[in-house]
Amino acid sequence: MSILSRHIATSLLVLRDGETFSARLLNGSIGFRDIAALAAFTALSTGVYGAVLGFWRSWTLAAYVAVKLPAVFLGTTLFVSVFNWTMALK
């Protein structure tokens, strides 16, 4: 299985079966590359979604939202992950 198809399969596994993904994550069969591929998949998909949303007004807004929306999604995910991690330490 090629690297790209493995990362796509991991992304689709999250969408189809979250429990299996969680079990594989805890088992250690999903590594840093798979998590990075999920972040890239999220950035790409939210960028396309943002561009489509911004295109109703102008190309400039489409480009702006295509950059802003992935930053907001990934930034929020990072913040919540760090917050949950610090709360779990208590």
- Per-residue pLDDT for the chain (90 aa), expressed as one digit of tens each? 565 566 666 666 666 777 777 787 788 877 777 778 788 888 989 999 999 999 989 999 999 999 999 999 999 999 999 999 999 987
The pLDDT, as a whole number, for residue 38 is 81
- Cα dist. 22→13, 14, 30, 62 in Å? 10, 9, 9, 35
Q: Is the distance from CB of 7 to CB of 33 less than 8 angstroms?
A: yes
- 15 and 45 in contact (C-beta within 8 Å)? no
Count of the separate structural domains present in the chain: 1
The answer to whether the predicted template modeling score (pTM) of the entire model surpasses 0.75 is no
Look at residue 30 and give its three-state secondary structure: coil
pLDDT value at residue 1? 52
The domain in which residue 30 lies consists of 3-89
Buried b (16+ CB within 10 A) or exposed e, 40-67: ebbbeebbeebbeebeeeeeebbeebbe
At 53, give phi and psi (nearest 5°): -65, -40
